[in-house]
């Protein structure tokens, strides 16, 4: 699947790992559940339980690794252990750019 965005995976992973679990919810901009697909941007959420992964919004519904159905496709896990972090978060602007076709 081709994405219209380029993500600095290494930079984002290092940034997220530098934060403690309780800091993530304060540092990242939260997206309300009803606005997730309206954003049309990749976002961060927990898809395996106690992790933080990148997913891409889609029109089709996909089963996530934790068996939850979402209108999004799993891309990559950024942080394996992220206890207590719940919700949907925007990827910081410094780690995502729009791809020119």
**What pTM value is reported for the model?**
0.85
Q: CB atoms < 10 A from the CB of 73, how many?
A: 16
Phi, psi of 53 (to 5 degrees): -125, 155
Q: How far is CA 38 from CA 25, 61, 82, 97, in A?
A: 21, 15, 26, 18
The full set of domain ranges for the chain reads: 8-92
The tens-digit pLDDT sequence of the chain (101 residues) is 566 889 999 999 999 999 988 888 888 999 988 887 777 889 999 888 888 999 998 889 999 888 889 888 989 999 988 888 888 999 999 999 987 76
């Amino acid at each position: 699947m081709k994405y219209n965005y380029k993500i600095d995976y290494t930079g984002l992973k290092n940034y997220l790992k530098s934060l403690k679990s309780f800091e993530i919810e304060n540092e990242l901009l939260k997206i309300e559940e009803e606005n997730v697909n309206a954003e049309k941007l990749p976002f961060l959420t927990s898809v395996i339980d106690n992790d933080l992964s990148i997913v891409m919004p889609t029109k089709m519904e996909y089963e996530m690794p934790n068996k939850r159905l979402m209108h999004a496709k799993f891309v990559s896990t950024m942080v394996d252990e992220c206890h207590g972090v719940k919700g949907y978060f925007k990827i910081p602007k410094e780690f995502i750019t729009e791809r020119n076709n």
